[in-house]
Amino acid sequence: MALFSGVSANTMLSEAYEKKTIIKKELILANLFNSLPTYFLHLPTVFFITAPLIKGAAIIYVALTFGAAIFRTVSIVVLSRFLLPAIDRSASPSHETKDTTEKKTHWRKAVEKSWKRFKKRIRKIIRYTVPIYILVFLMHRAGLFDILERGMADYLSFLPWLTPQSMGIITLHMAAEFTAGLAVAGALLQEGSMDYREIVLALLVGNVLSSPVRAIRHQFPYYAGIFQPKMAVELIVYSQLFRVGSLMLMGCIYFMLTL
pLDDT tens figures, 224-238: 888 888 899 999 999
134-166 pLDDT per residue, tens:
765 676 677 765 665 565 555 555 566 677 677
In this predicted structure, what is the pLDDT of residue 211?
A: 83
Rounded Cα distance between 185 and 63, Å, is 18
In this predicted structure, what is the pLDDT of residue 151?
A: 59
In this predicted structure, what is the pLDDT of residue 98?
A: 46
Residue 24: inside a domain:
yes
Rounded Cα distance between 209 and 68, Å, is 16
| 30 pLDDT above the threshold of 80 | yes
Q: Three-class SS of residue 123?
A: helix
Residue 133: inside a domain:
yes
**Entry field: residues in the chain:** 259
Kindly state the DSSP code that residue 223 receives in the 8-state scheme: H
DSSP 142-172: TTHHHHHHHHHHHT-TT-TTS-HHHHHHHHH
CA dihedral 145, 150, 153, 154 (to 10 degrees): -150
Range of the domain at 215: 6-84+121-257
Rounded Cα distance between 202 and 183, Å, is 13
In this predicted structure, what is the pLDDT of residue 166?
A: 75
Q: Three-class SS of residue 244?
A: helix
Q: What percent of the chain has pLDDT over 70?
A: 70
Residue 125: inside a domain:
yes
Residue 108: inside a domain:
no
In this predicted structure, what is the pLDDT of residue 110?
A: 65
Residue 164: inside a domain:
yes
Number of domains into which the chain is organized: 1
